[in-house]
Structure 1
Amino acid sequence: MRKRSPRGSGEILADEILQAATELLIEQGSEARVSIRAVAGRVGVTPPAIYLHFADKEALIEAVCGRFFEQFDAVMVAAAEGIDDLVERGVAQGMAYVQFAIDNPVVFQTAFSHPSDRPTQTDQVLMASAFQHLGETVREAMAAGLLPAGDVTSTVLGLWSAAHGVADLMTARPGLPWGDDLSIAENVVRAVISGLSQETVKSEPQRPPVR
């Protein structure tokens, strides 16, 4: 076992616990195979030490997923970098979400595996960071007349739903004939954005014909 931590090092231990739990989750491929005892053993503490930082295993796993998705903020920034076309930027951001899910299928599936009537830590992380970037794209597109004016958050949630839906299927059912690239996912994201763009066209006042 590890030596007793010095006073004030609780935050460091909590970080070590999260890191160990993340490694075990990815290695085992399922949260059902991750135990508090296994996490404690990897960190070098007794199981009760884990409960000083996390109420139970569910709270620990939720914290693992929330912290893991903090990485997605930088992914979204990189995806939009240098893309001036707002539609293409939106597609790139949606596809970044799909790619992130495919690259991290275990954590992705775990993060959204439990129904919840409250925002989880993953939800809070996404809405407070990565999806602020998508919101900026949507806001600019609305101002430019490329998307119908309205509530930015609702539109972001709609786009997120489309990207999440295809990402969920591709990670949960990787054996389906998705092909060797992400063209199916991109077609879905583009179709949703195109549909919103068409709503903008329909809402524009029709000019009388020139006589």
Structure 2
Amino acid sequence: MRETDVTAQDAEKRATRVRNRRGEGGRLREDIIDAAAALLDETGDERAITLRSVARKIGIAAPSIYPHFPDQPAIMLAVVQREFAALETHLRAAVEEAGDDPRDRLYALCRAYLRYAQDHPERYRTMFGGLWIPTLGDSSLTEEELTTLGATALQLLADALAGCVVAGQSSIADPPLDAVTLWICLHGLAHQQAATRIFPWPAERVADAIITRVAKLKDATTAE
């Protein structure tokens, strides 16, 4: 081994020890999540997120992660949970900004959802599956942790649809079920926009058509 290699390794170890002390305590858990999210943005591949790569990103030894996360899927779950919280904040802000009209609030929420997917393509893909979700029993994750992901965001959509029904602007009969249907349609559009270099129609018009038809929105003049 060359002397320069030994010197580089020693320098790396010294830097690691310093950064490890700086990251100790409750802050280290957030540092781990930040590092995993950054790796996801950089590589676009959740397979690149390992205990070793996250530890290297922060400048700690890999075993230092275990008191905070038992395995890699647990880190990914934390990244996804935090991203869903950010999505929910984004959707709530869009709805509040839209004003009091239920129709406007529904459109604003759906458009904000699509905008979020477009602005954060790698994280969005990971939020809704990706390659990180393991078979139950193969990791520390529980079925409840996985099945409740995005539940609050979906409830916001169901509430927006119910508001349109109460206002006489929509003829749907089952807001929770129709919220799932509308989300699937929006998710399909978001995926297609990300996967297709040249989208065949103006995405905004397609989105509005999806919202109007799935939500069974009545014409503004007849809803009054």
TM-score (norm 2): 0.73
Which of 159, 162, 172 is the equivalent residue of 2:185? 162
Which of 114, 118, 138 is the equivalent residue of 1:102? 118
User: Residue 158 and residue 78 in structure 1: after superposition, are their counterparts in 2 closer, same or farther (change >3 A)?
Assistant: same
CA RMSD across the alignment: 2.8
What residue number does 2:5 align with? Answer: none
**Where in structure 1 are there 5+ consecutive unaligned residues?**
202-211
User: Residue 73 and residue 186 in structure 1: after superposition, are their counterparts in 2 closer, same or farther (change >3 A)?
Assistant: farther
Is 1:87 the equivalent of 2:103? yes
1:69 and 1:12 map into 2 onto residues whose CA distance is 21
User: Residue 187 and residue 33 in structure 1: after superposition, are their counterparts in 2 closer, same or farther (change >3 A)?
Assistant: same
1:145 and 1:63 map into 2 onto residues whose CA distance is 40
Is 1:197 the equivalent of 2:216? yes
Indicate the larger mover: 14-23 or 31-40: 31-40
Which AA in structure 2 matches 1:193?
Answer: T
Check the 8 A contact 2:110/2:186 in 1, yes or no.
yes
**Where in structure 2 are there 5+ consecutive unaligned residues?**
1-16, 137-142, 220-224
Higher RCO, 1 vs 2 (CA within 8 Å, ≥6 residues apart): 1
Which AA in structure 2 matches 1:24?
Answer: L
User: Residue 131 and residue 196 in structure 1: after superposition, are their counterparts in 2 closer, same or farther (change >3 A)?
Assistant: closer
CA-CA distance at 1:192 after TM superposition: 4.2
Is 1:133 the equivalent of 2:156? yes
Check the 8 A contact 2:81/2:149 in 1, yes or no.
yes
Give CA-to-partner distance per residue, 1:130-159, whole Å, 9 cap, x none.
Answer: 333323221211112222353332121111
1:83 and 1:194 map into 2 onto residues whose CA distance is 22
CA-CA distance at 1:64 after TM superposition: 0.8
TM-score (norm 1): 0.76
Which AA in structure 2 matches 1:3?
Answer: R
Q: Percent identity of the aligned residues?
A: 26
What residue number does 2:34 align with? Answer: 19
Check the 8 A contact 1:17/1:43 in 2, yes or no.
yes
CA-CA distance at 1:162 after TM superposition: 1.2
What is the DSSP-based 3-state SS (H/G/I as helix, E as strand, rest coil) of the residue aligned with 2:216?
helix
Check the 8 A contact 1:91/1:186 in 2, yes or no.
no
**How many residue pairs are counted as aligned between the two chains?**
191
Indicate the larger mover: 159-168 or 144-153: 144-153
2:35 and 2:68 map into 1 onto residues whose CA distance is 14
Give CA-to-partner distance per residue, 1:42-90, whole Å, 9 cap, x none.
Answer: 2222111222222221221122122122111221122221333322321
Which AA in structure 1 matches 2:130?
Answer: S
Check the 8 A contact 1:159/1:189 in 2, yes or no.
no
